[in-house]
Amino acid sequence: MTDRAFMRLSRFMIAVSLCLSLAMGAHAQSSDSPESSEYLIKAGFIYNFAQLVQWPASAFSQEDSPIVIGILGTDPFGAIIDRVIENKKLAGRTLVVKRLKRGAAVKDCNILFVSSSEAAHLDEVIQSTKGMPILTIGETPGFAVRGGIINLTLEGNRVRFEVNIEAAKQANLNISSRLLALARIVPQAAADARKSE
């Protein structure tokens, strides 16, 4: 690993550590459930993912169009994700959150978080984003293998993530090598194998 790559990786780890420390501080100051702490961490991950993914220019109608984070299904974040992205900009773009119900158009989203409440409809959701420059993020076992791009997992009390590089290529998204270095890379299941499940 070059010194430059090591410095980038170090900065990313510091940012993740900062999100984790903020989560622990917020948790210690409130009587919220451990689940809210989990979703504060996941919201921090989503923000960091947005920094480390490059969308094609065609994904935005204007140079200053916001990065739209869609939450599909039951919203596990509540106001947490709004607070995490509040007053933040990435490459001159603000971030906005939209809450979506099943069947809603997702084409205006740049990031689509698929709640675990949509587990029974994953194939339909993933199919609806095919060929679109949308970073799909889930939290359901098998999400990335089935064609989602990033899946957030819990290992013990830690949030980890899996990345499906092939799905990212199909969405015309460029994921930073810094992000990929920290991810568990998963292969995409063949379409025939998914249908037989």
Give domain 3-195's CATH architecture: 3-Layer(aba) Sandwich (3.40)
pLDDT tens digits, 3-58? 565 455 445 555 554 444 444 444 434 435 556 789 999 999 999 999 999 999 99
Q: Break the chain into its structural domains and give their ranges.
A: 3-195
One-letter amino acid at 115 equals S
Strands of 93-100's sheet in order across: 89-90, 93-100, 67-72, 111-114, 135-138, 150-155, 158-163, 184-185
| C-alpha to C-alpha distances, 2 to 6, 18, 65, 111, 113, nearest whole angstrom | 6, 24, 35, 31, 33
pLDDT for res 88: 96
Convert the pLDDT of each residue in 59-73 to its tens digit.
Answer: 999 999 999 999 999
**126-176 residue pLDDT tens:** 999 999 999 999 999 999 999 999 999 999 889 999 999 999 999 999 999
Q: Can you give the pTM of this predicted structure?
A: 0.81
- 62 exposure class (CB count in 10 Å sphere: 0-12, 13-18, 19+): exposed
Instruction: At 69, list the tokens.
Output: 């984070």
**pLDDT at residue 62, as a whole number:** 92
